[in-house]
Chains A and B, each alone.
Chain A
Amino acid sequence: MLRQGSRISLILALVFPAIICAAVALAYYGYRYAVAASVRSKASLMEGNQQLAQLLISQVQDRIDSVDYDFFQKVEWEDRLSRPTPEIDLSPAVESFVILDENLKIRSQFPAADPRRRKPEIDRWQNYVRGLEWKSLQPWTADQAGNFRHLHQLFDGRSVLIAYAAKETALGARYYIAAKLNLGLITKEWIPELVEGLATKRRIVILDEVARSIVGGPSIQRPSAFLYEESFGKTLYAWRVQITPLNADELRAQAETERLLGVLLIPVSTVIIAVGLGVVWLSVRAERRASRLKSDFIANVSHELKTPLSLIRMFAELLATGKHKGERVGREYASIITRESDRLAHLIDNVLDFARLERGKASYNFAEGRMQEVVERALEVCRYRLDKEKIRLRTEIAADLPLCRIDEDAMSLVLLNLVDNAAKYSGGDPGGDTGHDAGDVLVRLARAPGGVALSVHDRGSGISSEDQKRIFERFYRADNARVHNVRGSGIGLSLVKHIAEAHGGRVEVESAPGQGATFTVFVPAAPLATAERADVSGVQLELPVASGSGPEAVGMGVGVGVPVPAAHGPGAPHK
């Protein structure tokens, strides 16, 4: 038992920290994993943003480039003409263009210049194109697509996109073309079209040179989680694309929640597991205490069984072999055998009753009955024994008690156990130096609020408050009882409590060391009986509480009255 107990303790001592360590490790790696997963998902989100931005940029560029290519392919300048190829079909994306000769003199422009209404901004960009690095441009050839360039900058606070290229006439004379593209068309039609074509759940914003939003609503403020920004790089190189998931705030909140959860997970889960382990440990401890008590009980019972058995065998053997001094001694031996047989039977009954009643209420036979009759019958049973042990039994039974719903056998068992207990512990006070008769047991039956109170008082050495808390536990035996060797199995009081509660009542003990003890069992009146009684006389309430003073004061003690070895015979405390 002990070895097994310590093995369980050892296992618990090893397993509990192991579980806590595992929980902490699990929480830690869980957190790490959550963080990594959130980083990964953010990375993949950003990657998606980046791909989308690049796709959009390239689509925009491709579209502009294809217009430019078309334009530069179509527009020719003939040496002799001051006008470009007439009637060419210009894309609406080309707002205007100029053709410059080798000396960068404007030789032609479209739409034609109106001398009456000169537009300074047209002049400005047209003048500006003269300063471009035309010389470094390779002349246009159709198969060398893309050797045109773009200029993208602010003129008068307005963004202007200019495509320009160098070409050669059939005679090999170099000339230059610069076209101003319709940014309004690009931003209002093309880009929205392209964005729509991407069919994405992301918000796309195009910012201009001064970070004003041109497409896609207000600009996205930084810092913003999941925001990706990329410059157009060429063509519209002064502009940038911003991309962010539509539900960025939600995602951010979600990521924050996940992070918080991760952070909280460690302490919370550890605490929960620790609390859980604590609960398990407590219940294991309670279970082990119960099982220890049970095995103590078995040891007690087997010891209790073997003691009378040994006595019976020994005295029977002495009688049988005739090894005793005279007939009187022989008769004493025989009476010891009888008494010990009774004790054995009583013990076995108690164990069996206990086992039966522990199975639950089903084993009770409740019926309306009078407590006074039960008490009187039960006292008859033990009066003989008490007389023999020179224990004075006094009774106070009130008249006019209500009917109760009781199991008479169980109730007798309650009284027998309480009286047996009182007799055991207040049994002889052979020295008699306490000045009062310790061998008094008072049984009182009185009315109590809502029912009947049955109390048994004795004048033993009392029960410490420590023991009072536990004496109703199964198999528990008070220290005094053990030290002073009062025989017992530790189930009598537990049985009393069990029965009282099965009747809807309760049992209480009042005691102080040296002051004796009072055990009181409250039994509720049968429902009808209470009403009936209340009509007749609801007045005379006699509370069965031990006064603890005066000659009538009685109490119960644990462990004083063990008969001394010499005073054997009828002094032994048992029934």
Chain B
Amino acid sequence: MAGAAPPVTRRRVLIVEDEPDLVRGLRDALEFEGFEIITAGLGREGVRLTRERSPDLVLLDLMLPDINGFAVCEEIRATNPVLPIIMLTARSQETDKIRGLDSGADDYVTKPFSIGELVARINAIFRRLHRASAPDEEIRIGQVVVYPRKHELLRNRKTLALSFYEVELLRLLYERAGQPVPRDEILDKIWGVSGNSTTRSVDNFVVKLRRKIEENAAKPRHIVTIYGTGYKLVL
């Protein structure tokens, strides 16, 4: 599995994937980029390694021999709401993507994928993770209070967990509150990828965020869609 004890600065990526050749390619590519790689061929093994080896990021295949990727994601999320999880999926239906995001994944990559794009996304996550925020930082949106550092939000006296990407997306929209932020820019700044082929991930995340923030997610008042452009945060 993992190599010898890595230097402190090396980020550890857990690959949960059952196809050996795919694991090999991912390992080679990510090791080349300077990451430390640990791998699991089964979903349960992946959950166990997440607990025991504390990876900084998980690459999770959807089709696993024992339990499917959604279940793995939910199990990881039950104990670790912040750990970034990127799903690798052969399916490209919207419903599968939404289900993946619902089960707690932060992003998904559809097979066959570009290894370059994957690495860019991983790097973007780490850049943002690296950026420390003030311990007492809080974002107020209507009746909702978001605590980015704790990856939590408080609404109607209920605390909800936020994933890495959700916090990042909220932070970006908050910095530009009242102004429309284009999808491409969001994709570039949060996910570290350019181009408009995968902008649906932004939309899917917005859907997910609205469910947590809005009173009525079907009629959003805070995260407003600007048709043809992107999104705007109304405080």
Contacts and interface: CB of A to CB of B under 8 A. Distances in A.
A310 B113 contact: yes
Interface in B106-131: 111-116
Contacts of B56: none
Interface in B53-81: 63, 65-66
Contacts of A324: 28, 32
B65 A484 contact: yes
A563 B24 CA distance: 13
Contacts of A307: 19, 22, 90, 111
B64 to A, nearest CB: 8
Contacts of B195: none
Contacts of B201: none
Interface stretch (A128-136, A311-319, A411-419): A311-319
Interface stretch (A181-189, A528-536, A564-572): A564-572
A340 interface: yes
A317 B18 contact: no
B161 to A, nearest CB: 28
Contact of B22 (A311, A321, A564): A311
B111 A340 contact: no
Interface residues of A, number: 34
A321 B116 contact: yes
B32 to A, nearest CB: 5
B90 A314 contact: no
Interface string B43-57: 000000000000000
B234 interface: no
B221 to A, nearest CB: 30
Contacts of A565: 20, 23-24, 39, 41
Contact of A309 (B18, B20, B111): B111
Nearest to A317: B115
Given A325-B32, A485-B18, A568 B24 contact: yes
Nearest to A559: B65
Nearest to B66: A483
A324 B114 CA distance: 16
B2 interface: no
A288 to B, nearest CB: 20
Interface in A294-318: 299, 302-303, 306-307, 309-315, 317-318
A309 B112 contact: yes
Contacts of A323: 28-29, 32-33
A485 B21 contact: no
Nearest to A484: B65
Contacts of A314: 22, 25-26, 29, 112-113, 115
Contacts of B113: 310, 313-314
Contacts, number: 79
A333 B29 CA distance: 12
B7 to A, nearest CB: 18
B8 to A, nearest CB: 23
Contacts of A331: none
B93 to A, nearest CB: 11
A329 interface: yes
A568 B20 contact: yes
A318 B25 contact: yes
A333 B66 CA distance: 28
Nearest to B33: A323
A208 to B, nearest CB: 95
B25 A572 contact: no
A307 B90 CA distance: 8
A312 B29 CA distance: 14
A313 B116 CA distance: 11
A348 to B, nearest CB: 16
Contacts of A482: 65
A329 B25 CA distance: 11
Interface string A539-575: 0000000000000000000000011111110001000
Interface string B3-23: 000000000000000111111
A463 interface: no
Contacts of B26: 314
A318 B39 contact: no
Given A313-B113, A325-B32, A565-B41, A303 B63 contact: yes
B112 A313 contact: yes
A320 to B, nearest CB: 10
A336 interface: yes
Contact of A313 (B63, B66, B114): B114
B23 A317 contact: no
A564 B24 CA distance: 11
A564 to B, nearest CB: 7
Contact of A310 (B33, B65, B111): B111
B111 to A, nearest CB: 4
Interface string A312-355: 11110110010111000100010010001000000000000000
A318 B29 contact: yes
Contacts of B111: 306-307, 309-310
A563 B115 contact: no
A324 B31 CA distance: 10
Contacts of B24: 565, 568
A27 B77 CA distance: 59
A315 B20 contact: no
A485 B65 contact: yes
Contacts of B114: 313, 317
A369 B193 CA distance: 60
A344 to B, nearest CB: 11
B90 A303 contact: yes
Interface in A38-86: none
9 contacts: A303-B90, A310-B111, A311-B21, A313-B113, A317-B114, A317-B116, A323-B28, A324-B32, A333-B25
User: Which 10 pairs of residues, A with B, have the shortest CB-CB distance?
Assistant: A565-B20, A310-B112, A313-B112, A306-B90, A310-B111, A314-B25, A485-B65, A309-B112, A306-B111, A303-B90
Given A315-B25, A563-B20, 7 more contacts: A314-B25, A314-B26, A314-B29, A325-B28, A340-B21, A484-B65, A565-B39
